[in-house]
Amino acid sequence: MGIASFWKDILFPARCARCRRIIAEGAICEKCYLGIEPYNFLRCGKCRARLPAIMEGLPKSGCHSAWPFILGAATSYKDESAQSLIKSLKFEGIRDAAQPLAELIFQFANTLPPDIFADCIIVPVPLHPARLRERGYNQSELIASLLGGRMNLPVREHILIRTKLTKPQSELRSHEERETNVEDCFATKNSEEISGRKIILLDDVITSGHTLYQAARALKAGGAGKIIALTVAMA
């Protein structure tokens, strides 16, 4: 351990994102992490109803089968520990929070039949280059990289690109504002890599769902096959 690292640990020790207790390392204490209540089923991407039937490796939605993705959220955004981790990673620069967030998705995926995710490519939702320079990293890419290692699946962060600098969805209140804000803001490149392939579209949280909808539309336009949108949390 270097001198700078020693004093950093003394003056600014790691704290749990939820309870603020000092911890040896990481971003959340074991008690708060284990208290997160997980989901264990996939949902319709549009209305978020539970999808009960599994056929040909993926559930079939009887309600909105034409929607471009089905949804898998690991937990609720109302869970204070999950919400604290997401905010720590997204707004406070705590990159260590990516590891427990990726683990939550991995544990969620393990509750489902393994063939659902067989031969998938993981595609994280991208940031616009200007937003990436401002934040310094894409939180979805960090989670995707760790999840890819856990699931032994390739991550392709260069497939989906953000073509418009939009306002953060969290700053918009109405359904119409959120929908208009992200309309046609994604495109694909190197689409031959996703032609006919099953995609895990990964983001940290789904709120209105408009961002994931536009991202999935772009992937479909690029030739992607079935799309499973995986998120840490659902608001």
Closest to 123 measured CA to CA, from 81, 158, 95, 97: 158
Q: Which architecture does CATH list for 38-234? A: 3-Layer(aba) Sandwich (3.40)
Q: Residue 54 above 80 pLDDT?
A: no
Q: Residue 184 above 90 pLDDT?
A: yes
Instruction: Write the DSSP assignment of 39-92 as a string of letters.
Output: P-S-EETTT--B---EETTEE--SS-TTSS-EEEEEEETTSHHHHHHHHHHHHS
Q: How far apart are CA 201 and CA 153, in angstroms?
A: 13
Confidence of residue 9 (pLDDT cuts 50, 70, 90): low
Q: What is the mean pLDDT of the chain?
A: 92
In this prediction the pTM is 0.91
pLDDT digits (tens, 9 = 90+) for 86-127: 999 999 999 999 999 999 999 999 999 989 999 999 999 999
Q: Residue 158 above 80 pLDDT?
A: yes
